[in-house]
Chains A and B, each alone.
Chain A
Amino acid sequence: MRKKITYEYSSAGLRKNILMNAKSLRLPEAWAKQIADRVVKNIDKWIADKELITEDDLRKQIVKELKVLEPNLAFAYRNHDKII
């Protein structure tokens, strides 16, 4: 059986990741920061009452949040591991 790997959720890591994706999409820096702050805030709220979540669920939630603000960013986030 495959060993389960767990790691702690990090708001700062998520923010950095969103900013990196936004930069590669050439979004204006101020708008990228605004998106990252808003998404991180909502994800923090969503995650607060959960003890354990899967990476997939977290990703889906992030994509859901991003889709409202910047669909291309949501696409990048969702499809990152589906390119090859």
Chain B
Amino acid sequence: MSDIVCVATILLAGLAQASLQLGLGGLILLYHNSLGRHRRRRTSYLARNYILGTGAITFLVVAAFCFLIGNFFNGALTTEWLVIALGALGACAIVMWLLYYRRGKGSTELWLPKSITRFIRKKARQTNDGVEAFSLGLLSSFAEMPISIALFFVVANAILNLSSAWQVLGVVAYTLISIIPMVILQFRIQAGRTAVEAQQWRLKNKAFLKIISGSSFLTLALFVAAFWIMK
């Protein structure tokens, strides 16, 4: 794979990861609960820690996948494993279109087991300090791992194809892209919007978000497959 193809893969995978909704939903919950109890400054601090938590776990997991592929696959996924990863991405696209959101009008509830969402909701209500917010970010990002695991395989494979000086930058770029929606939300709320407005936007654009998420997974799979075949 050429460097440009690798960079494009990282960008596309980052966008697919950014389109996942649990991190954003968790942040909206945290904002809503925290603004009701704390001063704005404290809430911003908690939100920053939450975003840092999601970023940190994404960075670490991608780095771990790079290590895994570097050590167990000699630096690049074999064709069989790549086909499995791309198949999983395709399956994720279908899941995003059909099952990612629970059925029901007026709700953006996700596919996750109720016990996990209940736990995240409870923690978002109780979060009072930076460490708790950071670990809530870790948790919400980790909970979405079944969907993002295929992304991590593909992106780690692309990162390892870059020259070694650019590999860390690749992981950082992927992490930064994946947290963009949360950073935007934080800016919007700091600029005077409320968490309720953000949730109303999510609700209104639920179908659009579903299509975007599914399409980004499928586009990434097709993109990587096309360049793999061309190679």
Contact = CB atoms under 8 A, between A and B. Distances in A.
Interface of A: 19-26, 72, 75-76, 78-84
Nearest to B32: A24
B116 to A, nearest CB: 9
Contacts of B132: none
B36 A82 contact: no
Given A25-B196, A72-B196, A75-B200, A84 B109 contact: yes
Interface residues of B, number: 30
Nearest to B196: A76
B58 interface: no
Contacts of B33: 24
B107 A79 contact: yes
B194 A26 contact: yes
A72 to B, nearest CB: 5
Interface stretch (B18-26, B44-52, B71-79): B18-26
A24 B46 CA distance: 14
Interface string B173-195: 00000000000000000001011
Nearest to B120: A84
Given A21-B36, A82-B109, A84-B121, A75 B26 contact: no
B31 interface: yes
Contacts of B120: 84
Contacts of A20: 36-37
Interface of A is mostly: helix
A22 B37 CA distance: 11
A83 B36 contact: no
Contacts of B195: 24
Given A84-B21, A84-B120, A25 B194 contact: yes
20 contacts: A20-B36, A20-B37, A23-B35, A24-B34, A24-B35, A25-B194, A26-B35, A75-B199, A76-B32, A76-B196, A82-B104, A82-B106, A83-B25, A83-B108, A83-B109, A83-B121, A84-B29, A84-B109, A84-B117, A84-B120
B200 A83 contact: no
Contacts of B172: none
In the A-B complex, the 4 residue pairs with the closest CB atoms? A20-B36, A24-B35, A84-B25, A82-B107
B28 interface: yes
A83 B35 contact: no
A79 B194 contact: no
B26 A24 contact: no
B196 A83 contact: no
Given A24-B33, A76-B196, A83-B29, 15 more contacts: A23-B35, A23-B36, A24-B34, A24-B36, A25-B196, A75-B199, A79-B203, A82-B106, A82-B107, A82-B109, A83-B108, A83-B121, A83-B199, A84-B26, A84-B117
A50 B119 CA distance: 32
A67 to B, nearest CB: 13
